[in-house]
Structure 1
Amino acid sequence: MPPAPRPPALRQRLGRRVLLSLLLVWGLGSAIVLGVGNHFVAQAFDRALLDDAHALAALVRSGGLDERHGPGASALRLELTPREVDLLRFDQSETVWFAVYGPDGRFIAGDHDLAPSSIAPGSSHAFSQLLRAGQDLRRVSLHTAGTPSFTVVMAQTTTERTHLLRRLLVYAGLAQLWLLVVLGSWLLRGIDRELRPLTTLQDAVDRRDAADLAPLPPALTQQAGSSDVQRLGEALDGLLARVQHSLHAQREFAGNVAHELRTPLAGIRAQAAHALAQSDPAVWRSELQGIAESEQRASRTVDQLLALARAAEGGTALALQAVPLHTLVRDVLLRFLPRADALGVDLGADGLEQAVQVRAHTALIEGILNNLLDNALRYGRGQPPRITVALQVREGHAVLSVADNGPGVDAALALQLQQRWAQGDHGVRLGQGAGLGLSIVSRYAQLMGGRLALEPAPLGPGLVASAWLPIAGPTEGPGAAGV
């Protein structure tokens, strides 16, 4: 299947739109010039033709009686000699005709076939078009009141006014076309100038290596002629920063896995080599038991790393709902009782008889309690070992706490332990874990709008790890969706 044709460049699209718009403006401007010019040219020529008609009417005289048209009829005459008539008809570019008619419509002088047009009541003259001998004429009929009244008709060809309109259109159109060419060139250069920073930005991104996620040079965006290019550069910088953060997290995750698994895998390899070199079944059993314990520690480290990675990526689409915390805590405790009995730890609970609804996520709450109990079972070894899980309601939050009677931590170390890979001296001496449990608990609590607090035990040595979770509102049911 052939690839789809590439759409035209933005510069070409803008250039075509600008040129088409200018051509449209030029056409509309020419039409307006033609219409306005035709109006004023016609008005000027009509005024001159009407003036000629008035001048001719001033030469019409009446006197005596015209016996040929009945008794009492006044005689009308046009006081023009043949030479004056020739002068009246003379025009360098037009042909002129005229006629004079009496009150009863009888012909007095001029051209017999030049009839007057109808004049509207209340008006003294009227203009009209006339076709005579295959020529278009402009005619004016002027009625002069008096004793007797008469009508003067004058007509002339329209060649000169047509030529004048053509010259007006040509000169105006050429002037507009020249202006549009200048304006179009200026606009196209302006478009090219405004889009040049965008082209420079595109070239800079194209030339970049895939591993180069540094921000764009400030000169590419700060010297841009428009805020749109600056915002595009800022958006690209933001995208590069997010990609760099994501790659950093992936590299950190891969490095952490490699670092944390190197020791148990090396131990497994050494134990397997030692077992293969022995023939005593008791040694095999001892080494296999050590291999199983190393595999469990490696698996737990991988599970914690994956859990922490999921927690780092969560929060944007996490659905929260009303969860019965007392019931959930009771179920988790029942799962930990066999392990606590095997270790000789007194695992107890306090406050689970009261019903507490929190706006949270079931899997995250289980993750919080699993990590806190696991830490307490491994590190909180008092004499005798004792762990208490308590549930209280304080300041609009449900406080889920796990208290042990181990060595405890000070305030500075409590803040440090909430960071990944952080371990206290006791944990380092035991050689267990990877310093991820409390950082996972802190992240889970943040995703549900809560927080993690580490405090010394109120009575004697020990540590109290408390997860503060928001109480569900009275209108939220078990199926209410959160954000």
Structure 2
Amino acid sequence: MVDVQPALDAELQKLLPPESYDLRPINKGPRSLFGEILDWMLAPLLLLWPMSIAVTYLVAQSIANAPFDRGLENSVLAISQQISETNGHISLTLPMSARQILRADDNDTIYFQVVGQHGQLIAGDKDVPLPHDGDALQVGVVTYRDSRIAGNEVRVAATQIILSPSKNSPPILVQVAETLEKRSQLANEIIKGVILPQFIILPIVVVLVWFGLTRGLAPLNALQNRIRNRRVDDTSPIEERAAPQEIMPLISSFNDVLYQLEDSVQSQKRFIADAAHQLKTPLAGLRMQAELAQRESSPDELQRSLEQIADSSTRATRLVQQLLSLARMENASNLSEKILFDLSQAAEDATKNWLSAAWEKNIDLGFVPPTQAHKIYGNPVMIKELFNNLLDNAIKYTPANGSVTVDVRHSNRPGLLIVEVKDTGPGIPPEERQRVLERFYRVLGSDIEGSGLGLAIVKEIATQHGGKLEILENVYQENPLKYGTCMRVYLPVGRP
């Protein structure tokens, strides 16, 4: 018969491009925990069962050999007692009736043999094999060995006797051999008595194992049903005490995921609510100013309205950017595009970008030149956003003719860098310093326009980079009794 498969494969390779071949094994789907446990329980049982049969057979043979070996020993001793020596002639005086009794066996054939000192046959069957040279025979001690006579397996019992110890006469060999039919029958009966109950017990064991696994995995099925029947918006934790101890870590991990999901959902809800609330005011202002502009007839009044619309749109754009930045920071579980870069260079570039805003308020914006590079692993876009929010807050809250200073240096604690943005503004009271880190919170009595998102964004970026934000006092150099604000960010040193 011609095998056409190779030819078909060759034609298929010509027709299809190499990338169309997918030699990966077919995914057979998820494994069954029930089936895997059942396999691990039944497979050893099924493997050990044949081994137990083999061991039982060996033990049965040992048990069967014991009584028949004693019978052979009695026969050897009986024959030994009938050997005599007369005038140097050795003979076996065994009556015919005794020989008939010795050979009277319906199942097995019995052979006996008496051999003299020179290997001559004195009496019995010449077919009985002699002991090997390595067989250890002792006078008066019966030894056993397995051999074959005429193609049949036999059990041989042998001993040596000395008729005249005083004359130093050589030993005489006496052997009795018997076929193994009765032994095999007895061993088979023993095996049947042991194995047959196992054929009945084994299916019962399989059924009990199946039933036990079903009962043992019932809590998993109940847990599955409880999870499947939960509402889509239900993020409440699963009760751990109702579950078995072995799956409590799984439930605990699942509850941790639910907690994180609940935090994420609540964060999104707060973001949507806060964004809607914060955007409502500037959008309403834009609409009102646009309506006023439509009613203005004077070019000067119209120009003033358009300027207010431009300012309001700028503030709304800044608010939207901050909202999007905050949402992006909160949803970044791990930093993407982390690279090693110089934090001092990022701070210097950000400071230059805010020079024009500082000049408009006549604020002295300065940057402390670093004496060495300050490398960190992080996202440059996020770090840029961090500096922008710190400088925006500092310039916004610092009055005219004030100063803002940016400094990057190593901390006294090894492995940490410090970013400081100091201003000569009104400062933040100690009781307000934690609350200003919350979203949309602004210090009472402040007439500066803002969204209250800047420090929340800075805190989130610092956390995403493994750092933290602290709010301290900045002591005025010219007046130690006056205090401004020092925003200090700790960031870990970058290591390749």
| Structure 2 counterpart of 1:87 | 101
Figure out how many residues of one structure are paired with residues of the other and give that number: 451
Partner residue in 2 for 1:118: 131
Contact 2:154 2:179 in 1 (8 A): yes
Q: Secondary structure at the match of 2:433?
A: helix
- Deviations 1:271-296, CA, capped at 9 Å, x for gaps: 33454566666555444333322221
TM-score (norm. length: structure 2): 0.77
Q: Report deviation, 1:372.
A: 3.4
Q: What is the Cα deviation at residue 205 of structure 1?
A: 1.6
The aligned residue for residue 3 of structure 2 is: none
Question: Residue type matched to 2:422 in 1?
Answer: V
Please state how far the C-alpha of 1:26 moved relative to its aligned partner. 1.2
Cα distance change, pair 264–140 in 1 and its aligned pair in 2 (3 A): same
Specify which of 381, 388, 395 is matched with residue 404 of structure 2.
388
* Matched AA of 2:485: V
Secondary structure, aligned partner of 1:218: coil
Q: Aligned residue for 2:236?
A: 214
The CA distance in 1 between the partners of 2:372 and 2:48, in whole Å, is 74
Q: What is the CA–CA distance in structure 1 between the aligned matches of 2:43 and 2:370, rounded to whole Å?
A: 77
Unmatched 5+ stretches in structure 2: 1-25
CA distance in 2, matches of 1:392, 1:75: 119
Provide the aligned C-alpha RMSD in A.
3.6
In the alignment, structure 1 residue 174 sits paired with structure 2 residue 158: no
Distance 2:63 2:185 in 1: 14
Q: Note if contact 1:320-1:481 (Cα within 8 Å) is conserved in structure 2.
A: no
Q: Report the 3-state secondary structure (helix = DSSP H, G, I; strand = E; otherwise coil) of the residue aligned with 1:154.
A: strand
Partner of 1:308: 326
Amino acid at match of 1:13: E
Q: Secondary structure at the match of 2:306?
A: helix
Match in the other structure for 2:42: 19
Corresponding residue of 2:423: 403
Structure 1: which amino acid aligns with 2:435? Q
Match of 2:220 among 198, 220, 237: 198
Question: Which structure has the higher relative contact order (CA within 8 Å, separation 6+)?
Answer: 1
- Cross-structure match for 2:371: 355
Task: Give the conservation status (yes or no) of the 8 Å contact 2:144–2:155.
Answer: no
Gaps of 5+ in 1: 65-72, 473-479
Q: Please say if residues 127 and 149 of structure 2, whose CA atoms lie closer than 8 Å, have aligned partners that are also in contact.
A: no
Q: Deviations over 1:10-46 (max 9, x none)?
A: 1122213322211111111111121233234335423
Q: Give aligned-pair identity as a percent.
A: 24
| SS at 1:156 equivalent | strand
Whether the 8 Å contact between 1:45 and 1:161 is mirrored in structure 2 is: yes
Deviation at 1:203, TM superposition (A): 1.9
| Matching residue's letter, 1:265 | L
Equivalent positions of 1:230-269 (< 5 A) are 230-269=248-287
Query: Once structures 1 and 2 are overlaid, which stretch shifts more, 411-420 or 85-94?
Result: 85-94
Which one of the candidate residues 454, 459, 462 is aligned to 1:437? 454
More displaced 10-residue stretch of structure 1: 229-238 or 199-208: 199-208
SS in 2 for 1:240: helix
Give the distance between the partners of 1:115 and 1:278, measured in 2 at CA: 138
Partner AA of 1:235 in structure 2: S
Query: TM-score, normalised to structure 1's length?
Result: 0.79
Q: Take 2:395 and 2:310, find their aligned partners in 1: how far apart are those partners?
A: 20
1:165-211 CA deviation, whole Å, 9 max, x = no partner? 11122222234455555554554444333322222222222222221
Any idea what the Cα deviations from partners look like across 1:86-110, whole Å, max 9, x if unmatched?
3232346434343445555555545
Q: Which amino acid aligns with 1:123?
A: L
1:156 aligned onto 2:178: yes
